[in-house]
Copies of this chain bind each other. A is one copy, B any other.
């Protein structure tokens, strides 16, 4: 792996663990066992690392938020897809930890962040509308908008909420996010008893592992 890729991966790990505020460039250099001068050669300060990570996050989300994949999803696959969204966002969760502060500190990330959130919302709206057209989901048009808002809120904020307020590990946080979404959706979904049981069973046993890939190596091939 190239040094610039190793730097970004380490920065991401440390930012997620301690918050962006709690990590300095020197911490990142020390963790990598390189000199601050060498780090500076690749990235001129934290801002350029944060921007590079946001570009990676934007690319990653573009690959997950593909509209034409939604039509054929069954109710169970919808749950898998929602998990994939939580999981994808969770890889870059430091961006969602103190959302107002980080955008004020790095105005450059505001636009890509807005793009991600509006694509996410659009995708969720389309997903819910498709389910409603297929008569799998019972919801009025205004319910559909609110449900898309609610799912966006849960996907982007529940991990941060759990981290501040409880001591869940990362996997439990993701399943908690998924369970919060499903507790809102299930009473509106028209499912057979078998389907309902299989969904509840998967949620209960945390049995969605391996559905998703984490950040793949090729995403780190960003030139700096």
Contact = CB atoms under 8 A, between A and B. Distances in A.
A21 B184 contact: no
B99 A164 contact: yes
Contacts of A100: 19, 97-98, 160, 163-164
Nearest to A165: B117
Contacts of A98: 97-102
A158 B164 contact: no
Chain A binding surface, main DSSP class? helix
Copies of this chain in its oligomeric complex = 2
Contacts of A147: 183
B163 A153 contact: no
A52 B95 CA distance: 30
A146 interface: yes
A129 interface: no
A180 B153 contact: yes
A143 interface: yes
Contacts of A22: 104
A157 B153 contact: yes
A160 B153 CA distance: 10
A176 interface: yes
B138 A187 contact: yes
25 contacts: A19-B101, A21-B101, A21-B104, A97-B98, A97-B100, A97-B101, A98-B100, A98-B101, A99-B161, A100-B160, A100-B163, A100-B164, A101-B101, A138-B187, A143-B183, A146-B180, A150-B180, A152-B161, A153-B154, A153-B157, A153-B158, A156-B161, A157-B157, A157-B160, A183-B184
Given A150-B183, A153-B158, 12 more contacts: A19-B100, A98-B102, A99-B161, A100-B160, A101-B101, A117-B165, A147-B183, A149-B176, A153-B157, A156-B161, A157-B157, A157-B161
